[in-house]
Amino acid sequence: MALTDEAIEKIKAMIVSGTLRAGDRLPKEADLAADLGLSRSSLREAVKALSLVNILDVRRGDGTYVTSLEPPVLLEALSFIVDFHRDTTVLEFLRVRRILEPAATAMAAERITIEEIESLGKLLDSLGPDPDVEDLVANDLEFHRRIAAYSGNSVLCSLLETLSGPTTRARVWRGLTQSDAIGRTLAEHRAILDALASHDPEVARSWSTVHIASVEQWLASVL
């Protein structure tokens, strides 16, 4: 089990057992990490993940609280993580995306203009070196949407847009739970952009394949 997943399970156990109740404030990070036998970084990522599904409420300058949800709603939110790990359909979407998107990226490398290359560069630059996961995924979705559009094939573009939605949750969860996911995504996006700027279809195809396969491989390992 990944360290972040272990941390999530331990916080969930505290909530389910009643050690932490709705409205309770979590102990200080250092104290909670020591009590649970976790590193502070693993605990921090677990808190971020649980706040994303509204189990925890992080209030800046105040602390982190268990949300004041009614039990059925809280259990529904907790089941998000279980459902995600049982969802093999999203893996099938990623496999189809790995077939189609590299082709679109190769086509885009042959057609892309200087203005479009500059636009993609500005999009990546807008993130900065250490983006939040939510910002990264939103940027990632737009980056791939534009490349598909630059392929010049409206049918392929529409197919990829349809495939994008079902894989969004996997991309968010990977960013929250895999330690190097953000850095790898940023580096792979730059490599794809460099290949597009060089108008090299085969290099663009290869980097696109590597990029999508890394998400697919991670998901296959956690399902």
Same domain membership, residue 104 and residue 73? no
Q: What is the pTM of this model?
A: 0.65
The number of beta carbons lying within 10 Å of the beta carbon of residue 59 is 10
Residue pLDDT, tens place only, 30-86: 888 898 888 888 888 888 877 776 778 888 888 888 875 555 555 555 455 544 545
- Report how far apart, in Å, the C-alpha atoms of 116 and of each of 71, 112, 170, 177, 193 are: 50, 6, 28, 33, 10
For residue 93, the enclosing domain spans 87-222
Per-residue confidence at 1, pLDDT binned at 50, 70, 90?
very low
The total number of structural domains that make up the chain? 2
**Is the Cβ–Cβ distance between 216 and 94 less than 8 Å?**
yes
Q: What is the CATH number of the domain that holds 139?
A: 1.20.120.530
Same domain membership, residue 128 and residue 27? no
Same domain membership, residue 122 and residue 51? no
Residue pLDDT, tens place only, 97-122: 999 999 999 999 999 999 999 999 99
Q: What is the CATH number of the domain that holds 35?
A: 1.10.10.10
Q: At 193, list the tokens.
A: 């952009």
Residue pLDDT, tens place only, 170-191: 787 777 777 788 889 999 999 9
**Given 83, 118, 151, which residue is the final one in a domain?**
83
- Cβ burial 154-166 (10 Å sphere, 16+ → b, else e): eebbebbeebbee
State what percent of residues in the chain have pLDDT above 70: 85
d(CA 173, CA 49): 8
